[in-house]
Amino acid sequence: MSQPFTAIATLIAKPGQQDALEQHLRALVEPTRAEAGCGQYDLHQDQANPLAFYMIEHWSSEEALQAHDVSAHIQHFRDQAGDFLEHFELKRLRALA
């Protein structure tokens, strides 16, 4: 089993779609926090660019994140994301200090 890690998801809304993206991201928070292996799942919005959202995540293992990726709520989000999501990127971070 892999080591715990932090991830940062960057999600950029299509122009004029930030409210829709925010609504869909808020709907992911509660079910994701209830998942095995999720230690943190916090939604943030960029103060300088309201189209940009960040999910700060902490996972107990890569396997826990993989289970999250195939969960029903994430699949539902992905099915609808084309309407409001311009860009997505996930970075896995290794803690140093």
pLDDT at residue 27, as a whole number: 97
CATH dotted code for 5-93 = 3.30.70.100
- Given its phi and psi angles, is residue 84 left (phi above 0), alpha (psi -120 to 50 degrees) or beta? alpha
Cα 5 to Cα 19, 37, 40, 69, 70, distances in angstroms: 29, 11, 10, 16, 19
pLDDT at 90: 98
The pLDDT value given to residue 46: 98
pLDDT by residue for the chain (97 residues), tens digit each? 689 999 999 999 999 999 999 999 999 999 999 999 999 999 999 999 999 999 999 999 999 999 999 999 999 999 999 999 999 999 999 989 9
Q: Would you state the pLDDT for residue 1?
A: 63
